[in-house]
Amino acid sequence: MTQIIKAIIVDDEIACQKTLSLLLQNLQSNIQIIACCDNADDAFICIQKLKPDLVFLDIKMPGKDGMQLLEMFQNPDFSVVFVTGYDQFALKAFELNAIDYILKPIDVERFDLSVQKITRNVQQQKELRFLYSNLNNSIDFQKKTVAKLLFHYADQVVILNVQDIVCFNSQDGVLDIYSTGFKTIRSTKNLMDYEEILKNYPHFIRINKSCLINALHILSYSKGDPCEITLYGGLTHEVSRRRKTEILKTLQYLLKP
């Protein structure tokens, strides 16, 4: 049985709130609207109180905009879909790990496809959180493991939970770190440094010479050649052919029911 997805709409236009609610109702989706907010400050309180699975978020609003609202959460435990009349913010939206970006006025056919995609993604994220819970109960953290990592990003020191890191990817001597709750971070360390730091976390796997992934953020992987792994946020990386068999066996063990 498909689980209900609790959602909040954040939009300063009441008409848009009603339109979105009505479209979801007409599609008979399993997305249930539990609250609507017309500004970022109220939404911040509402999200903390009601703990939704999903937030439909407008960008341009009086006061704080939708992007600023999202950045108020250090490690969001909800999925985000931007619903806006502005297409120029799409790139930044996906950098903030939005699972979809819907333009107003909403096209009904396009929205139907979006809802199917949203439902799959949110369910996968709920399953990931369940996997994390089981993993935390099964791994001996008395070993020399780290719960958080510090990264220098611009003029900030960013603190990330290890479990929120999606992958490390090195290209042309530059190492990018992708996570579920923060924009992409660039590090001066190399990939081997983090591989050593995270060696006691079995779900961090080196899949090729330039990529270290968190297996618990895998959404899918292909069985053929080339073997590609799709991670949270739509990130796709190819598995080294030389290590393909070994890596797939490891993944099947880690991700088995």
Q: What is the pLDDT along the chain (257 residues), one digit of tens a residue?
A: 467 899 999 999 999 999 999 999 988 888 999 999 999 999 999 999 999 999 999 999 999 999 899 888 877 888 889 998 887 777 776 666 778 888 888 888 888 888 888 888 787 766 655 555 544 544 444 444 557 888 877 777 888 888 899 999 998 888 999 998 767 888 888 899 899 888 888 889 999 999 999 988 988 888 778 889 999 888 999 998 888 887 877 777 766 65
How far the first Cα of the chain sits from its last, in Å, is 17
Peptide bond into 257 cis (omega under 30): no
| Segment holding 231, helix H or strand E | strand 228-231
User: What is the pLDDT at residue 137?
Assistant: 47
Predicted confidence at residue 141, as pLDDT, reads 43
Domain co-membership, 23 together with 126? yes
* pLDDT at residue number 252: 73
Q: How many domains does the chain have?
A: 2
Range of the domain at 51: 5-135
Of 82, 103, 135, which residue sits at a domain end? 135
Domain boundary among 114, 135, 156: 135
Which of helix, strand or coil describes residue 87?
A: coil
- Length of the chain equals 257
Classify strands 211-214 and 31-37 as parallel, antiparallel or unpaired: unpaired
Residue 69 and residue 16 share a domain: yes
- 14 and 73 together in one domain: yes
| Distances in whole angstroms, Cα of residue 85 to Cα of each of 105, 109, 155, 178 | 7, 17, 32, 27
CA–CA distances in Å: residue 100 to residues 10, 96, 112: 15, 11, 12
DSSP state for residue 217 in the 8-state scheme: G
Q: Is residue 142 part of a domain?
A: no
**Together in a domain, 15 and 67:** yes
Q: Which of 109, 135, 161 is the last residue of a domain?
A: 135
| Whether residues 194 and 121 fall in one domain | no
Question: Does residue 131 share a domain with residue 21?
Answer: yes
C-alpha 63/C-alpha 59 separation (Å) is 11
Assess contact for 147 and 194: CB atoms under 8 A: no
Residues 16 and 112 in one domain: yes
Report helix, strand or coil for 149. Answer: strand
